[in-house]
Amino acid sequence: MNFERIYQEHFRQVWRFLARLGVPERDLPDAAQDVFVVVHRKLQEFEGRSRIETWLYGICVRVASDRRRRASQRWESLEHPDEQPSGVTLEPGDERLGLRALAERILGSLPLEQRAVFVCFELEGLSSQEVAERLQIPLGTVHSRLRLARAGFRKELARLGAREARWLRAGGQD
């Protein structure tokens, strides 16, 4: 399998996974580039010892982790709210934007290793066995991280204000 074929077949998948790992939209081109730089350099050593998706997911997690660490050093958050345009005017029925922002913020509060498992299992729909293979971690670790991620998600939801979320979900009705 050559580099170009991997790029063409997996670019979209890499992009989506990086986004779900919390890489901000503005940084996705750079992050995707980082991933494929690694792919290109290590392709000859890959030797197909694991599935290509497993290899790519691992690189994505590390690139996202690296970016998160660097962002924190710059006192930024990967889920920095300035991703959202400030002048957006919500029309009636657009309250979903608020809920979505809330969901993304909660997801962003999870440690990356938990988030990666949560994303693979709950959002990508992989089985726990597939998650273990994809992220190259033991099955028991998948389960423990998933439990922690769910608990973290629930806790953060409560903290960020379930009341506002409920209000938004109700379409802005008191």
Partner 1 sequence: MRPWQDEGASDLEQQLLEMLREDAAEPPPGAEEQVLGALSLQLGLGAAGSVARGAGTAEAPSAVAGKAAGAAGVAGSATGAALQLTSVLKLTLVGLLLGGATAAVSHYASLDSGGGELPRSVASSYREDMKGAPTKGTAPAPVEPGEVREPSGSALQQRRPRSEVSVALPRPSVSTDAPPEPSVARFEGVVEPQGQQVAARRSQLEAERTVLAAARRSLQGGDAAGSLRLLTELNRRFPRLLLGQEHEALSIRALAASGARAQARARAARFVALYPTSPLTPGVREVLR
Instruction: List the interface residues with partner 1, window 42-81 (CB under 8 A).
Output: 42, 45-47, 49-50, 55, 58-59, 61-63, 65-66, 69-70, 73-76, 80-81
Task: Pick from 102, 110, 148, 155 the residue near partner 1 by CB under 8 A.
Answer: 102
Q: Which of 53, 103, 130, 148 binds partner 1 (CB under 8 A)?
A: 103
CA separation, residue 9 to residues 6, 121, 149 (Å): 5, 22, 30
- Distance in angstroms (rounded) separating the CA atoms of residues 16 and 100: 17
- Least distance from C-beta 107 to partner 1, angstroms? 6
| DSSP state at residue 124 | S
What angle (nearest 5°) sits at the alpha carbon of residue 49, between those of residues 45 and 54? 100
Q: How far is the CB of 174 from partner 1 (least distance, A)?
A: 9
Shortest CB 62 distance to partner 1, Å? 5
Q: Are 68 and 28 within 8 A, CB to CB?
A: no
Q: Which of 32, 78, 110, 120 contacts partner 1 by CB under 8 A?
A: 32
22 binds partner 1 (CB under 8 A): no
Interacting residue with partner 1 among 9, 72, 100, 155 (CB under 8 A): 100
CB of 140 to partner 1, least distance (A): 11
Cα 51 to Cα 34, 45, 58, 88, 135, distances in angstroms? 20, 13, 11, 43, 11
9 interacts with partner 1 by CB under 8 A: no
- Contact between 97 and partner 1 by CB under 8 A: the answer reads yes
Instruction: Tell me whether residue 49 is exposed, middle or buried, using C-beta atoms within 10 angstroms of its C-beta: 0 to 12, 13 to 18, 19 or more.
Output: exposed
Site for partner 1 in 142-161 (CB under 8 A): 142-143, 146, 150, 153-154, 157, 160-161
